[in-house]
């Protein structure tokens, strides 16, 4: 559910509300109780649940980051045609 920002045109109070996208906009100011609340135009807001991203949520203790492993592992010849073992002259 997105978080919407509102501002009262009567008293200037700013208010945030967690609402469904299909919900009607709020109009009653929680500070002064006047029907002067207007929705502000702002960046889309959302909530992330959990303690972090893939690195902290889904990996086992001994697994390493794939990018770090690729940087530290030296390239080894595989014995394919590039190494001359296929019989072709290079």
User: Residues 6 or more apart from 60 whose CB is under 8 A from it?
Assistant: none
In a domain, residue 68? The reply is: no
Q: The tokens of 9 are what?
A: 């045109």
**pTM score:** 0.46
pLDDT single digits (tens) 58-74: 556 565 555 555 555 55
83 occurs within a structural domain: no
- Condensed to tens digits (0 to 9), the pLDDT of residues 30-86 reads 999 999 999 998 766 566 666 666 555 555 656 555 555 555 555 555 555 655 556
The CA angle 31-37-42, to the nearest 5 degrees, is 110
> What is the domain-level CATH number for residue 27?
2.20.28.10
Say if 28 falls within a structural domain.
yes
- Domain total of the chain: 1
Going by the DSSP 8-state scheme, the letter that residue 43 receives in this structure is -
Q: How far apart are CA 22 and CA 73, in angstroms?
A: 52
The answer as to whether 2 is a domain residue is yes
Q: Write phi, then psi, for 71 (nearest 5 degrees).
A: -70, -35
Q: How far is CA 41 from the centre of its chain?
A: 21
């Amino acid at each position: 559910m997105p978080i919407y920002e509102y501002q009262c045109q009567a008293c200037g109070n700013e208010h945030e509300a967690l609402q469904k996208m299909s919900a009607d906009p709020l109009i009653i100011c929680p500070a002064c109780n006047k029907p002067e609340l207007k929705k502000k135009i702002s960046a889309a807001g959302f909530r992330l649940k959990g303690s972090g991203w893939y690195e902290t949520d889904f990996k086992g203790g001994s697994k390493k980051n794939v990018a770090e492993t690729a940087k530290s592992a030296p390239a080894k010849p595989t014995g394919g045609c590039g190494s001359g073992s296929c019989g072709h002259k290079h």
